[in-house]
């Protein structure tokens, strides 16, 4: 209650997963907080069905956003239904719990999880959601690994990364956001197309068509929300 309204409008509450002894009490708490406009939405761990999200949406109210964490084989199997559930803002990947659920033991490269991450990106695109959120880096002091993970996330189509410590935020923003050269290119693309009145144009000896314009617009949108 002491938080300013602008901060409450950005606050997501992570509750306990369905099937735990605390989930029902958490849903009741979500309903009270949502009614008081104390939170913007809810993060649901171990999301495994659209029905779970429907019950959560009922408790949180129609204005709340939902962020399901995909952390199990069952969650992966229900990915499209979860992504299409009402009020879902974007998907998030709980890669550590996912490994535990499947008995995996990935190294730092996590090559075994490439197809799983791609599945989240594809499901997000099919449901017209924002790009998904990648999992945490457990050692908040290891900036080099954090940056490498965030760069990998961006290359793979993710648009955000979960953090466990405020010290991680700057590195994640730097790695996931567009660089100065990318922004300069994006502005020149948009300007060239505008001057040409649309259609296909040539910029720096390369063809610029609709997919390239969409990429440029996405980079500029990312910069605007930083």
- List pLDDT tens digits, range 56-78: 999 999 999 999 999 999 999 99
The pTM for the full model equals: 0.86
The span from the CA of 72 to the CA of 81, in Å, is 15
Q: Give me the percent of the chain exceeding a pLDDT of 90.
A: 75
- List pLDDT tens digits, range 105-154: 999 999 999 999 999 999 999 999 999 999 999 998 999 999 999 999 99
Helix (H, G, I), strand (E, B) or coil at 100: helix
145, with CB counted inside 10 A (0-12, 13-18, 19+), is middle
Residue ranges and CATH numbers for the domains of the chain are 5-135 (3.20.20.60), 180-225 (no CATH)
Kindly give the pairing relationship between strand 206-208 and strand 201-203: antiparallel
- List pLDDT tens digits, range 186-225: 999 999 988 888 778 888 888 888 889 888 888 888 777 6
Q: Is the dihedral of CA 218, 136, 92, 31 positive or negative?
A: negative
- pLDDT at residue 22 in the model: 98
Q: Is the pLDDT of residue 90 over 60?
A: yes
- pLDDT at residue 225 in the model: 64
- Largest Cα–Cα distance in the chain? 62
Residues 133, 92 contacting (CB under 8 angstroms) = yes
Stated length of the chain:
226
- pLDDT at residue 182 in the model: 86
- pLDDT at residue 202 in the model: 87
Residue whose tokens read 């033991």: 105
The span from the CA of 155 to the CA of 147, in Å, is 12
Helix (H, G, I), strand (E, B) or coil at 69: strand
- pLDDT at residue 226 in the model: 56
- List pLDDT tens digits, range 15-45: 999 999 999 999 999 999 999 999 999 999 9
């Amino acid at each position: 209650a002491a938080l300013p309204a602008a901060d409450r409008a950005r606050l997501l509450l992570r509750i306990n997963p369905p099937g735990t002894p605390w989930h029902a009490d958490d849903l009741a708490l979500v309903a009270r907080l949502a009614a008081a406009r104390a939170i913007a939405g809810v993060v649901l761990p171990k999301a495994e069905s659209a029905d779970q999200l429907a019950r959560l949406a009922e408790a949180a109210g129609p204005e709340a956003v939902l962020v399901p964490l995909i952390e199990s084989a069952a969650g992966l199997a229900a990915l499209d239904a979860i992504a299409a559930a009402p009020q879902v803002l974007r998907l998030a990947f709980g890669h550590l719990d996912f490994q535990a659920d499947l008995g995996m033991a990935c190294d730092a490269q996590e090559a075994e999880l490439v197809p799983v991450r791609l599945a989240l990106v594809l499901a997000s695109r099919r449901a017209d959601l924002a790009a998904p959120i990648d999992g945490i880096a457990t050692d908040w002091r290891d900036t080099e690994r954090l940056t490498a993970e965030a760069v990998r996330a961006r290359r793979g189509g993710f648009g955000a990364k979960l953090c466990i410590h405020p010290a991680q935020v700057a590195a994640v923003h730097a790695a996931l956001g567009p660089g100065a050269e990318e922004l300069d290119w994006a502005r020149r693309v948009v300007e060239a197309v505008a001057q040409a009145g649309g259609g296909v144009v040539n910029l720096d000896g390369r063809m610029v068509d609709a997919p390239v314009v969409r990429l440029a617009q996405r980079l500029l949108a990312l910069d605007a929300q930083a």
